[in-house]
Amino acid sequence: MSGFSFSFSGEDIEDNSISDPDPDVSQHSKYAVETGTLRRPPTSAFPIAGQAQLPPHSHILEEMLQSLPSKIAYSTLIVKLDDGTQLSIPRRELWDVRVQLMAEDDDEGLTNLGKDDVRTGVYEGGFKSWESSVDVVKVLHGRREEVLQYPGRFLELGCGTALPSLAVFQWLLEQSKERPAGGLEIGLADYNPTVLQLVTLPNLLLSWAQVKRKDSWEAEGEVEIDADLLEKFFSSLKSHDIRLLFLSGAWSPEFVRLAIQTMRSDPARLTILGAETIYSPVALRSFAETLMSLLDKTPAGDKIAFIAAKKVYFGVGGSIEDFCDSVRAKGAVVKQIREESDGVRRAVVEIKSK
C-alpha cells in the first residue's frame, strides 16, 4: 500500500472559513492541500514486512527555530465551539511551505507533494488538518478548566498541524502568568520530522503571535521571524512555565521509552491527544499498543486520552469500534464522549487505564 486517498468526503479541513466541518464545504476543499514526504527515507510509521521503521528522535526547539525562514504566510481556521463562541487558529499556508522547499532546491520534497492522503512508508498525513482534530478541540474546550491543571503534560500523537495542541497553547498564553511550581509541557509527535519543522512549529509561533499581538493581528498575512520575535517567544514560554517537546519516528516501544524519558517526571496529570490515527488495521494496532504503553508506563497522578476518528474508514479497514475493542483488551476503560453525525460520522472517545 504505497499511497491512497480516502474514498469519502469531509476528510480534511482546508477552507479557512470553515467553522463547523460539513460535507458540502469539504467537497470543494477535498484536494486543496497537496502533501508528501520531504527528504524522508523509505521507512514506515508502522511495522511492515520488509521495511525498516524510522527510529524515534527528539528535536531541540532552539535548533528547529533556527531553521525557519525569515517569514511565514498564514491563514486562519475559525472553529465554532459548543457554547456559541469561536476559536481562531492560524496555520501556515502550504504554498508557503512549497516556496521554502523551492528556495532550498528540495526537488525530492516538491516532487512528493502529491494528492495522496497517506503514502505508507513515506508520509503519514501530517500536512492536513483533519475534521476529527476539530472534534478534539471542542472536547477540550468543554473541559477547559479540568485539562489546564498544573503541573501536567499534554502529548499529541500524530500531531500534524496540531489543532488540539494549538488550542491548549492559546488558552495557556491567555491565562495569568502566576503558575504553581512544575508548569506544563506540550509534547508534539509526528512520524515525519519535516512535518514538525514545516507546519507544527510554525503554527505554534503563529498562535503565540495571535495572542500576544491581538490588537494588530489579522486573519491572514505574514509574520516576520526575526531575533526580536524569537526572544519574546522564549520569554513567554518562560513566564507561563510552558515547555515544548518535539518527537518524531514510528510508534514503537522505543518511541514510548523516548517519550517517557523526554517528558518531566511525575506530573499531576497526563493528557494524550490523537485524531485520525487509526485509519487502517495496521495503524490501529500500532497506535493502540503505543497509547496503552504510554498510559500504563508514564508516571502521573492522573492519566487520560482523548482519541477522535471516523466511525469507519471505508476502503482501508479501520474503525472506532475496532479501536475501542483493541484498547479494552489491553485493560483500558473506554467511554464515547462525543459523536458527529453530519457528513462522515465521527466520534471522540475517552480512554483511561485501569
* pLDDT winner (highest mean) among 1-10, 98-107, 268-277, 288-297: 288-297
Mean pLDDT of the chain: 81
User: What secondary structure letter does DSSP report for 198?
Assistant: I
pLDDT interval class at 124 (50, 70, 90): very low
Q: Label the pairing between strands 302-310 and 269-275.
A: parallel
pLDDT interval class at 150 (50, 70, 90): low
**pLDDT tens column, 337-351:** 999 987 789 999 999
81 has pLDDT over 80: yes
Greater model confidence, 46 or 7: 46
164 has pLDDT over 80: yes
Greater model confidence, 98 or 123: 98
What is the rounded CA–CA span in Å between residue 233 and residue 246?
17
Alpha helices per DSSP H over 220-266: 227-239, 253-262
Percent of the chain with pLDDT strictly greater than 70: 75
Question: Which grid coordinates belong to 340?
Answer: 458527529
What is the rounded CA–CA span in Å between residue 178 and residue 162?
26
Provide long-range contacts, Cβ within 8 A and 24+ apart, for 142-146. 142/82, 144/171
- Average pLDDT on 220-225 reads 96
Q: What is the pLDDT of residue 182?
A: 63
pLDDT interval class at 102 (50, 70, 90): confident
Q: Which amino acid is at 140?
A: L
Q: What is the pLDDT of residue 343?
A: 75
Q: What is the pLDDT of residue 49?
A: 53
pLDDT interval class at 117 (50, 70, 90): very low
Q: What is the pLDDT of residue 332?
A: 96
What is the rounded CA–CA span in Å between residue 111 and residue 270?
39
Q: Lowest-confidence range among 12-26, 67-81, 137-151, 254-268? A: 12-26
pLDDT interval class at 309 (50, 70, 90): very high
- Longest Cα–Cα distance in the chain: 54
Q: What is the pLDDT of residue 45?
A: 46
pLDDT interval class at 85 (50, 70, 90): very high
Peptide linkage before 180 cis (omega within 30 of 0): no
Q: What is the pLDDT of residue 17?
A: 39
Greater model confidence, 49 or 316: 316
177 has pLDDT over 80: no
3 has pLDDT over 70: no
36 has pLDDT over 70: no
Q: What is the pLDDT of residue 299?
A: 84
- Average pLDDT on 51-75 reads 91
* pLDDT winner (highest mean) among 3-17, 136-150, 204-218: 204-218
What is the rounded CA–CA span in Å between residue 265 and residue 136?
26
Alpha helices per DSSP H over 213-298: 227-239, 253-262, 281-297
Percent of the chain with pLDDT strictly greater than 90: 55
What is the rounded CA–CA span in Å between residue 305 and residue 295?
8
Q: What is the pLDDT of residue 178?
A: 56
212 has pLDDT over 60: yes
31 has pLDDT over 60: no
What is the rounded CA–CA span in Å between residue 315 and residue 313?
6
Q: What is the pLDDT of residue 259?
A: 96
**81: nearest Cα among 171, 148, 173:** 171
pLDDT interval class at 13 (50, 70, 90): low
Q: What is the pLDDT of residue 131?
A: 87
